[in-house]
Chain A
């Protein structure tokens, strides 16, 4: 891999790090397997792109707008589950397929190019470094800030209520926690993060696309699983750090698999490679051999 490719992989790794933090919040903290992200990732992208191109918004505000849209989507999924007792996975699927149509409406078409407009990344052009260097640095800082904010939140009164609501709902209720509300805001927040990630992704790759959400759920989940199996997560600080590491490592694994000539993969095989990697990670985690492989690998 060239330096250029490495930096590019870091860039996407950091963006998906934000998705991974959302997945951590839903899957690990709230015990709510949320599939909405397949729709809220492109939703964030579509909203941000449309606000920038169509309405001429400041790109930072537009990115935030993508986050707000994501929050609404997540909130709606949790609402279907909490209020109307629809199975959480099904609620997520319903939202993500309806978002597919909604995204087409928002963009008035299957995609929205972001060429020749200001994005959050054009703000850094004056720093005297080429974009492929400054962008990953900026994204790295941003994802770290989000991570630290999430850590801080999870230590507040609301935060521990949310953790208890996921880990032991009956106990949480007996201690005055409105478990339903925790799901609404928690799943909402996770999708807000995913929406922001989608908005950033669209801006760095120059377009929002209705299909860009395919596989996002697996990427988020894979990041959490890979991260957790590498870094034992005794504290929240370590757990969220593990998610970020997982997201980055996972992108490198995909990039390497696609780059390795002897494997014969093409760029279009990315989803297949993704699924294979996740399956391998899950199987290895079950058999406990994943850590052994890593330990052996690091000794070489």
Chain B
């Protein structure tokens, strides 16, 4: 479903601040797979997500989604096929619009928008039905502006919005990192349920090794702009955080020192 081939990304090229964020990344995510990405700060995990979403321009390489070469497609065009949940709960929803209008906006991602009223009664019913799943009582607050919701509520709504329409790929960018542990757990469970129910292809970037290993069915690790580790199936099922660290040490000949990564 997602194919990255020979992807190179360099920030601030030809300046003293030049950073080679991705150095030849090949990645193939088959349809229906739930992939988790781990890596320390600056390893390239978020950059690779941005490459898929179209936020970051490639220096070399190609991006394919659902068999189509989308390398030169802008973000809004790619969003017909993929949806995204951001780390910052404020980013995923539009706070000046009501919950219902946010749903209508997400609906327009895969369908024509037009000059008709965005919010009809069928939209209202559909949104209410989906919001009921959350058990947060949001189905009774459809006309409230999203700015009135808490971070966790907004993130849950973003997730539902990302799942509306005929979305094929779900991109999750550390989407539980800014939430308190209990809410993070809730949002993560919701994520698993949605990906499962809709049989989506999903890519989740996370800072937590444990989360990466216990979510989805395949885990890759980025280090200095390259994929250094790729595990799935039985090998990954039996793997614990300690094994991952050991593996990293053996492969790279160095200790992993990012505290956030170890503690997570």
Contacts and interface: CB of A to CB of B under 8 A. Distances in A.
A174 B76 CA distance: 6
A140 B108 CA distance: 36
B154 to A, nearest CB: 11
26 contacts: A153-B115, A155-B119, A156-B113, A156-B116, A157-B104, A157-B112, A157-B116, A157-B118, A158-B114, A163-B97, A164-B94, A164-B97, A167-B95, A170-B91, A171-B86, A171-B93, A171-B94, A173-B76, A174-B53, A175-B83, A176-B77, A176-B109, A176-B110, A177-B105, A177-B108, A178-B74
In the complex, which of the residues B75, B77, B91, B116 has the most CB atoms of chain A within 10 Å of its own CB atom?
A: B75
A161 B105 contact: yes
Contacts of B95: 167-168
Interface string B90-108: 1111111100010011101
A160 B116 CA distance: 11
B96 A176 contact: no
B116 A172 contact: no
Nearest to B106: A175
Interface of B: 53, 74-77, 79-80, 83-84, 86, 90-97, 101, 104-106, 108-110, 112-119, 161
Given A160-B104, A176-B108, A167 B114 contact: no
A170 B93 CA distance: 10
Given A156-B118, A157-B114, A177 B91 contact: no
A110 interface: no
Contact of A163 (B77, B93, B96, B117): B96
B116 A178 contact: no
Nearest to A28: B96
Main secondary structure, interface of A, reads helix
A164 B101 CA distance: 10
A179 interface: yes
A177 B76 contact: yes
A171 B118 CA distance: 17
A173 B97 contact: no
Contacts of A171: 86, 91-94
Nearest to B114: A157
In the complex, which of the residues B94, B97, B116 has the most CB atoms of chain A within 10 Å of its own CB atom?
A: B94
A175 B119 contact: no
B192 to A, nearest CB: 21
A113 interface: no
B115 A157 contact: yes
In the complex, which of the residues A163, A164, A175 has the most CB atoms of chain B within 10 Å of its own CB atom?
A: A175
Interface string A173-194: 1111111000000000000000
Main secondary structure, interface of B, reads loop
A158 B118 CA distance: 8
B105 A174 contact: no
- The 6 A-B pairs of least Cβ separation, nearest first, read A157-B113, A176-B109, A176-B79, A167-B96, A173-B75, A168-B94
Interface residues of A, number: 22
B108 A175 contact: yes
Contacts of B115: 153, 156-158
Contacts of A170: 86, 91
A153 B115 CA distance: 7
B108 A179 contact: no
Contacts of A178: 74, 76
Contact of A176 (B80, B90, B104): B80
A168 B86 CA distance: 13
Nearest to B100: A160
A206 interface: no
A170 B92 CA distance: 8
Contacts of A173: 74-76, 79
Interface string A136-175: 0000000000000000010111111101100110111111
Contact of B91 (A156, A160, A161, A168): A168
Contacts of B101: 160, 163
B6 to A, nearest CB: 26
A173 B91 CA distance: 11
In the complex, which of the residues B86, B117, B118 has the most CB atoms of chain A within 10 Å of its own CB atom?
A: B118
